[in-house]
Structure 1
Amino acid sequence: MTNRRNFLKTTALATAGVAFQAFNGKSEETEIDINSGKTNKPIVLSTWNFGLQANEAAWEVLKNKGRALDAVEAGVKIPEGDPNERSVGYGGRPDREGKVTLDACIMDEFSNIGSVACLEHIKHPISVARMVMEKTPHVMLVGEGALQFALSQGFKRENLLLEASEKEWKEWLKTSEYVPKANIENHDTIGMIALDVQGNLSGACTTSGMAFKMHGRVGDSPIIGAGLYVDNEIGAATATGHGEEVIRITGCHLVVELMRQGKSPQKACEEAVMRIVKLTQNRGKNLKDIQVGFIALNKKGEYGSYCVQGGFNYAVHDAAGNKLIDANYYLKT
């Protein structure tokens, strides 16, 4: 598996909607004329370098005029089902009790939502989350109840703890030291947001959470408004990194609300990160110990991203192709 710290170097980003260029640690923007009537659609964004492959699956739906909801589910199922991907779904690292527990959520253009948390034995939690959305009166199921529901819907019970992950866990037990490191693949997520040809937005987010977490720990990924938020009038956002910090500011809802106030996706992501920076510093914590990254997409197909420190990248697929972009970041030293 390609280490996502060995990311592709991109010095400039240009789309039909917006271009960003890093300059002295700041982001310069060039936006299209909002009255031009031009929209960059369809388009799909996803977090990290495994987003490239995920985007390809989503694009198969979008290019055939499919629904954004179907695209994001199809896209994130790729890393969910990859045994070599150690932070999402099958192959994910376990908690400190040796159990692989998965979190996921999904949201469509009508604000329908579904979520599962602390789900064991099911390879594709995103599809269970969609079933929660479509087949129950609830928006979130957790733990044993989520598993019972999944099995009732025909999902297969599987052992998700692979040999490599079990070996790492047993090695970790020798010290039981729990110090998650920024940009190391023990706390990453795939979040995906898409705009289809009909001009509708949807999003999905799925993870196995922090490696060797306490059993029962839930991060931001399955929480609507924290790890994912979609407002079909405005835009969509998703997050990755240390979930506790994203929850603290209800991060993705904040990004979308900032876009509602007129900020570009890039500026909205930057302001959300600065909220995290301020709160972290106010609490006397070291910024070097955390990483949070946001990606955002508006109804014009304009997009942006920002993170606490370097090392986060994201994938974008539109009519011009599929590419990996290094996000700009706050902590330069």
Structure 2
Amino acid sequence: MQRRKFLKNSTLGTAGILSTPLIAAQAGLNSESLNSLTRETKPIVLATWDVANATSRAWEVLKEGATSLDAVEQGVMVEEADENNQTVGKGGRPDRDGQVTLDACIMDKDGNCGSVVYLRNIVHAVSVARKVMEETPHVMLAGDGAEKFAYEQGFPKEDLLTARSRQEWEEWKKTSQYKPIINIENHDTIGMLAIDRKGDISGACTTSGMAYKIAGRVGDSPIIGAGLFIDNEVGGATATGVGEEVVRTVGSFLIVELMRQGKSPQEACEIAVKRIVAKNPGYRDFQVGFIALNKKGETGGYCIQPGFSYRTYSEEGHSLTPAGSYINQ
């Protein structure tokens, strides 16, 4: 590792001595490629759905000079603590047994990652996932083991089932019918990607999963490569919607690999969605959406059904973008 850093620094030092035209001529670069290599890295935050408070917090963290890892963690923590968001953290809709269970993962610029599955009684699942990454030799902890680890790390125990979510669950039990509602029940994941001032990329994903799921069900959100994947040389991607379909195609990893091959974030997201559609004739009955970010700070998003949107925060402003969809309105 030290040798690699030395060689990298030596190369950069030599480049500083040579003139820009000479570098371009020797490398066979045109002006557009040269500008791409030499332009300053600009911080950016990208998140699934209209989570303006979350992206605002992540942007504040980046502007303070902190890492992209800190930004994505603190960004999604905003939604985990918001009881009005019934798809993550406290106030999340329970499984059919009345238990609120959380899944989350986080991944940094070096490929380090941590994940928690079926976590109960802890609000900030993403922070527990980070502790798994930083304090253990493991990637994933589940159930009672994840909860015990969280207490050992100082996380407080808290009842996650709010009065509102309990009332809705009691009403659901009258029929116990389960059918995912596109862009409502399946608004089940907050995924966030960020680039910091150093050009390093990190990502995080957190969810309470599908409402009234079978106890023990786990979707794509805590699965590295499915719900989230980061490669600091290329970019990152994250997913939302019916996690089973994302798992089957290893969707986020697929998108990053497509970007490695030269596809733009938008092109890569579209290909990933179309692969799900091609493999599932029932695609009209569910939603899957992806967002992606490459090393240049370019973004993209795409979904199956109309209605998915994503937030972007950069020096150019704070915006909400309706994602293109395979099925048109």
TM-score, with length taken from structure 2? 0.89
Cα displacement (A) at 1:181: 1.5
Q: Partners in 2 of 1:176 and 1:113 — Cα distance? A: 37
What letter corresponds to residue 324 of structure 1 in structure 2? Answer: L
* Aligned match of 1:314: 310
- How far off is 1:33 after superposition? 3.5
Query: 2:84 corresponds to which letter in structure 1?
Result: N
Give yes or no for contact 1:122–1:158 (8 Å, CA) kept in 2.
Answer: yes
Structure 1 position 39, deviation (Å): 5.1
Q: What residue number does 2:146 align with?
A: 146
Per-residue deviation at 1:64? 1.9
* Number of the residue aligned with 2:130: 130
Using CA pairs below 8 Å that are at least 6 residues apart, which structure has the higher relative contact order? 1
Structure 1 residue 320: deviation in Å? 1.3
Give the number of the structure whose residues are more often helix, by fraction: 2
Change (3 A) 1:231 1:209: same
Q: Is the 8 A contact 1:40 1:302 kept in 2?
A: no
Once the 2 structures are TM-superposed, how far is the Cα of residue 245 of structure 1 from its aligned partner?
0.7
* 1:67-123, Cα deviation, whole Å (9 max, x unpaired): 000000000000000011110111100000000000000000000000001000000
Structure 1's consecutive aligned runs of 4 or more residues displaced over 2 angstroms after TM superposition are: 32-35, 37-40
Q: Would you say the 8 A contact 2:186–2:242 is kept in 1?
A: no
Give the match for residue 274 of structure 2.
274
Change (3 A) 1:243 1:99: same
Matches within 5 A, 1:197-236: 197-236=197-236
User: What's 1:44 paired with?
Assistant: 45
Cα contact 2:227–2:239 (8 A) shared by 1: yes
Larger Rg: 2
C-alpha separation between the residues in 2 aligned to 1:211 and 1:95?
A: 6
Distance 1:307 1:254, change over 3 A: same
Describe the SS at the equivalent of 1:240.
Answer: strand
- Aligned position for 1:58: 58
1:118 and 1:185 mapped to 2: Cα distance? 18
1-side partners of 2:173 and 2:41: how far apart?
49
Number of residues paired by the alignment?
A: 297
Cα distance in 1 for residues equivalent to 2:216 and 2:33: 46
- Residues 30-76 of structure 1 show CA distances to partners (whole Å, capped at 9, x for unaligned) of xx9443133551001001012x1111111111112210000000000
One-letter amino acid matched to 1:252: S
Deviation string 1:17-42 (CA, Å, 9 cap, x unpaired) is xxxxxxxxxxxxxxx94431335510
TM-score w.r.t. structure 1 length?
0.87
Q: Which runs of 5+ in 1 are unaligned?
A: 1-31
Aligned-partner Cα distance in 2 for 1:48–1:71: 17
C-alpha separation between the residues in 2 aligned to 1:212 and 1:34? Answer: 51
| Distance (Å, rounded) in 1 between the aligned partners of 2:33 and 2:213 | 45
Distance in 2 of aligned mates of 1:165 and 1:306: 30
Describe how 1:92-171 pairs up with structure 2 within 5 A: 92-171=92-171
> How well do the aligned residues superpose, as a CA RMSD in angstroms?
1.2
One-letter code of the match for 1:295? Answer: I
1:302 counterpart letter in structure 2 = E
TM-superposition CA deviations, 1:234-274 (whole Å, max 9, x none): 00000001100100100000000000000000000000001
Q: Provide the identity percentage.
A: 60
Give, in whole Å, the separation in 2 of the partners of 1:233 and 1:182: 34
Change in Cα spacing, 1:187 to 1:48, as seen in structure 2 (3 Å) is closer
Q: Which of 302, 305, 312 is residue 301 of structure 2 equivalent to? A: 305
